[in-house]
A and B are shown apart, each in its own frame.
Chain A
Amino acid sequence: MIGVVSALAVWAGAMWLNMRLAARDTAFARAVVPVVFGVTILVMWELLVRGLQVSAVILPPPSAIAQTFAGNLPTLWADFQQTFLKGALGGYVIGCSAAFLTALAIDRSDFLRRGLLPVGNFVAALPIVGTAPILVMWFGFDWQSKAAVVVVMVYFPVLVNTVAGLSATDAMQRDLMHTYGASPAQSLIKLRLPAAMPFVFNGLKIATTLALIGAIVAEFFGSPIVGMGFRISTSVGSLDLAMVWAQIVVAALAGSLFYGAIALIESRVTFWHPAQRS
């Protein structure tokens, strides 16, 4: 009972603090308010789980998750290596470069572009994770099959965005390159590729999340005895939910950092774009 009451007290206190902070629109407030909100959720979670004595096989408290996290670092690192560094990242690099090269290859042909764009858009909306069982069958249980799933998942969003980006220049700019007597290669490198970069990075950012999803879900269909998806499904089976949550923390950190890294590169490459200058 004390837990519940103090949880409500924490909630009320944090709400009051946030209202006060939000009343003034400063950079400080913008940074602190979400942190206060996040911490409040964690504290309330902890207090409610302890106060209502929720069983650990339904919802473990954050402290238990943190303990599991700290106590299993070698396991978590091994799983992270297997799933993220090998499966997701490997597939991401292969899939994105393949999509980028395909986009460059079909760029010169209006016919191919017209044909591939609707097909690519269509495929990008499909539940492609469903190919996981097939690819696991073809490439075996190890990380190669996970990378293959990731390749298929990231290929079409990146392709569609890159093709759209390559036609993002307007007629005036192309005319200018024409008056300079630029060859198609020159106008590609100096005008159209830089202009395409905001679109390309849009695709690359969408692909970061897809890569992690693909690598984790593919492991549900068969994996060696290491990997985040494997650990999640076996820990769920043995009701070791703190371990599952620890893996989800890893996945969340990996996903956000991966996205952040791509966004950082984007801000370096497309520093000229209005969205980056404001």
Chain B
Amino acid sequence: MKTLLAVLSVVGAIVVVWYLACIPMNIAGVLTAAERAGAEVSPPEARERRDMSGMALTLRNPTQIGPVWSQDRPRLPAPHQVVIELWDTTVNKKITSKRSLIYHSWITLSATLLGFAIGTGLGILLAVGIVQSRVMDMAVMPWAIVSQTIPIIALAPMIIVVLYSIGVQGLLPKAIISAYLSFFPVVVGMVKGLRSPDQMQMDLMRTYNATDGQRLWKLRLPASMPYLFASLKVGIAASLVGAIVGELPTGAVAGLGARLLAGSYYGQTVQIWSALFAAAIVAALLVALLGVIERALLRRMGQAA
């Protein structure tokens, strides 16, 4: 309860700061529009205004600040403009429409989920291999760790274009980038998890005369679940970023990344912000969904905290 109150007041403070920030950010555009409409603005020369800061303009034209929250293409859209745009492009549009954010989110989400499934599957397999084989552990593990410090996303444009040139396009190239980004966090987390059973538990398995496979299936895999979910949450966020970035280099026409790119080309700031919030909502939903699955699964396995 106390936490909820604190969170709400922090969020409230952010919204207030946001509304205030709109004034100096947007005042220049508002003054230009007001001048065209024939109003008196100070200073009257557009050239002089360009060299002045937003704060100074605001102080010299306090009567003109009304429209800063309702411009068409503001530098910083007000929160309610973003919310209205989000509402318009989700609830008020058919989901098959090219202008529906749900349509664009789905394009990105499908690539994210496919890539995440591939990356997670391969990651778990590699982790099992690393734990079961000493050679693989010593040869691959250092590279898996080093690869986490590399901005893999720099590969994204190349993957898209190369796959395009050999005839693969659409969902798969984006999914491959997503898979690649979620792969390494899962490997590293899963190896840690598979190694988490302590010596006592391993000894118990030995006294039961368990085979390697049984030890993996009955002890190591169940013990790794909390670690797996921790890295899945990192992985799915990375997958979403991968799918969005994967839409940038070829000028894709659909998807959240395409919305961002189109918005930035045409100066449609409200569209950029609403695409950004849509991406944030999708990410939050995915992480929350994983949290729910985690809790249900751990309870069924008798590990609930």
Q: Do A and B bind each other?
A: yes
> Which listed residue (A18, A29, A115) contacts B9, Cβ 8 A?
A115
Chain B 135-170, CB-CB to A under 8 Å as 1, else 0, gives 100111111001011110111011001100110000
CB <8 Å contact, A115 and B162:
no
Tell me, in angstroms, the Cα distance from A237 to B275 when the chains sit together. 26
| Interface residues in A, total, Cβ within 8 A | 63
**Chain B: minimal CB distance from A273 (Å):** 18
In the complex, A127 Cα to B283 Cα: how many Å?
A: 7
Is there contact, CB below 8 Å, between A137 and B75? Answer: yes
Count residues of B near A (Cβ-Cβ below 8 Å): 56
Contact A217 B153 (CB under 8 A): yes
A22 contacts partner chain B, Cβ-Cβ < 8 Å: yes
Q: A248 — which chain B residues lie within 8 A by C-beta?
A: 154-155, 158
B161 proximity list for chain A (CB < 8 A): 236-237, 239
Is B91 interfacial (CB-CB < 8 Å)? no
Known pairs A18-B139, A33-B135, A220-B157; list 19 more (Cβ under 8 Å).
A23-B134, A57-B162, A115-B3, A125-B237, A125-B283, A129-B241, A129-B245, A133-B263, A134-B264, A134-B276, A136-B264, A137-B264, A209-B149, A216-B154, A217-B153, A217-B248, A220-B245, A247-B154, A251-B151
Kindly list chain A residues whose C-beta atoms are within 8 Å of the C-beta of B153: 213, 216-217
Which residues in window 231-257 of A have CB below 8 A to B? 232-233, 236-237, 239, 241, 244-245, 247-248, 251-252, 255-256
18 A-B contacts, Cβ less than 8 Å apart? A21-B138, A36-B139, A58-B162, A111-B9, A115-B3, A115-B6, A115-B10, A127-B241, A127-B279, A130-B276, A133-B260, A136-B264, A208-B149, A216-B154, A220-B249, A236-B249, A251-B150, A256-B146
**Interface SS majority for chain B:** helix
Q: A38–B246 Cα gap in the complex (Å)?
A: 27
Q: Cβ of B225 < 8 Å from any Cβ of A?
A: no
Beyond A133-B260, A220-B249, whether A114 also contacts B7 by CB under 8 A is yes
* B186 close to A (CB within 8 Å): no
What 6 pairs between A and B have smallest CB-CB spacing? A115-B6, A133-B264, A115-B10, A37-B139, A259-B149, A114-B6
Chain B residues, Cβ within 8 Å of A245: 158
Which one of A118, A131, A213 lies within 8 Å of B276 (CB-CB)? A131
A58 B165 Cβ-Cβ under 8 A: yes
Q: How far is the CB of B275 from chain A (nearest CB, A)?
A: 7
What is B's interface to A at a CB cutoff of 8 Å?
A: 2-3, 6-11, 14, 75, 134-135, 138-143, 146, 148-151, 153-155, 157-158, 161-162, 165-166, 233, 237, 240-241, 244-245, 248-249, 256, 260-261, 263-264, 267, 269, 272-273, 275-276, 279-280, 283-284, 287
Residues A256 and B275 in contact, CB atoms below 8 Å apart: no
Q: How far is the CB of A272 from chain B (nearest CB, A)?
A: 24
Which residues from chain B contact A136 at a C-beta distance below 8 Å? 264
CB pair B139–A33 under 8 Å, yes or no, is yes
Please, which residues of chain A bring their CB within 8 A of the CB of B155?
A: 248
